[in-house]
Structure 1
Amino acid sequence: MADLRQCSREFLTDFIALYESFPSIWSVKSKEYSNREKKGEAYEKLVEINATATRDTVVKKVNPLRSVYRKELGKVNKSIRSGAGEDEMYKPYLWYFDLLHFLND
């Protein structure tokens, strides 16, 4: 699986949509979150979308996506708490920021 900077938007969009469909690997509130079999099945489905991927490469792709999203979300929330006006509000530069809103659950 290619480095994040080398992935196409189409691939990352599909990857994120598929990732979202498996709350067992991202939603702590999900009953399936603590089920290792469900997590394994979910990761296998994510691995299937790329011929060269392994579970490790999928995990290594997901972690930076989540990390960068959380950093951007922190900046947005800090901007809101500061009382910034609509014009001064921090606007995320990540094109996939809105695609990852499901992580707020």
Structure 2
Amino acid sequence: MFTVTDYCAHAHESSHLKLYNSKEKHMEQHATRKASLEKLLQFVKTQVPEADIEFVDKKIGSLRSIYRKELNKVQASMKSGAAAKDVYVPSLWYYNRMRFLEDQIKARESLSTLPSTLPSTPAEASKAQPGPSILEEVEEPSWSQEDLSQDEALECGSQE
């Protein structure tokens, strides 16, 4: 059966590495990309005879996606301030073979609707944004005897 180790070893050829880089200029040329896929397909067919171009293309996308998820876990654990011994260790056994993808995978910048700095006092909040502040203390509602009596009446009525 087709193993990822064999595939990764074969995919490391310079002509195949370009298939993983979607920003590569050469990938804009459909004919060049197709030729590279055809060459890789010949290797894959030795292990998976029914494979086609779509199979190889999906395999490339799948490997990129899985690697990106593992890389994100590693980076997130490093950002969290974890000690060196607590940094996430990828469970993907072929992670190191796919490290050539690291420089091609860049996280998109996130957009935030929050201000870059949040106000620390109600006075700062009211200066920053007019209107009610999330930092202002809210009065708790006071229940009158009449309100409680109505609630008790409802409870009694629902039990009958």
Name the TM-score, length of structure 2 as normaliser: 0.55
How many residue pairs get aligned? The number is 97
**Residues 23 and 30 in structure 1, CA contact (< 8 A), matched pair in contact too:** no
Q: Which one has a larger percent helix, Structure 1 or Structure 2? A: 1
Consecutive unaligned residues of structure 2, counting only runs of 5 or more, are 104-160
Q: Which has the larger radius of gyration?
A: 2
Question: Which protein, 1 or 2, shows the higher relative CO under an 8 Å CA cutoff with sep ≥ 6?
Answer: 1
Counterpart Cα distance in 1 of 2:23 and 2:7:
22
Q: What is the match of residue 27 of structure 2?
A: 33
Distance 2:26 2:18 in 1: 5
Deviation at 1:86, TM superposition (A): 1.2
- Gaps of at least 5 residues in structure 1 are 1-6
Matched, 1:46 2:40: yes
Distance 1:66 1:31 in 2: 18
* Identity %, equivalent residues: 35
Distance 1:65 1:97, change over 3 A: same
* Structural RMSD (CA): 1.7
If the length of structure 1 is used for normalisation, what is the TM-score?
0.80
Q: Secondary structure at the match of 2:85?
A: coil
